[in-house]
Amino acid sequence: MDKERMKMMKRILAVALGLLLAAGVLRAQVVTPHQESAADLQRNVFGLGFSGGPATGVGLSFRHHLPSTISYQINGGIIKVDERMSYSVGAEVQVDLSRSHTVRFFAAGGASYFYSGTSSHNEMEGPSRFGLGLGGEFHAGAGVHTTLELLFTAFNDGTVLPLPQLGFHYYFR
């Protein structure tokens, strides 16, 4: 990887980290209406669903909202056709910036590993990835929530791109 590309990647990651830190400081100063009574702020909430994105993996997803402003998510999926296999595993941590009964905005960071090829050779050029960014979760009704995120995703081949992620989860009450 050339020096200019590495400098650009470091600058983008520094800006993303700065945005996350600034969001944490601003979170302490902003209070949304009914934030203290937001749904399930004082107990564990578990969700199962599907999540897909280049920063944290594609496949089935487990999410755990801790009795605080922190959540974590584990993703994984595998497909095998004949001699070819594709899979991804990943994890993500989310910190709530604003939360109400129907909408939640958060800062997120995560990492993943992708594999695609035969059992002896991964054909992916940048299989290890990590991302930082912001997201929103919206209540779609009947315990189902939709998540949309935009994460600055860094690939281990040096590429950094702002890429979207999408998820659907059912929360158990």
The predicted model scores a pTM of 0.76
Confidence of residue 119 (pLDDT cuts 50, 70, 90): confident
CATH number of the domain to which 11 belongs: 2.40.160.20
Tell me the C-alpha to C-alpha distance, in Å, between residue 108 and each of 79, 112, 122: 27, 13, 28
In order, the DSSP letters of 143-170 are TEEEEEEEEEEEETTS-EEEEEEEEEEE
Distance of CA 91 to the CA centre of its chain: 7
What is the number of structural domains in the chain?
1
Confidence of residue 17 (pLDDT cuts 50, 70, 90): low
pLDDT at 118: 87
DSSP reduced 3-state for 112:
strand
The answer to whether the CB of 52 falls within 8 A of the CB of 167 is yes
Confidence of residue 8 (pLDDT cuts 50, 70, 90): low
pLDDT at 41: 64
Structural domain of 94: 3-30+38-172
Q: Compute the radius of gyration of the chain from its Cα atoms.
A: 17
The answer to whether the CB of 143 falls within 8 A of the CB of 166 is no
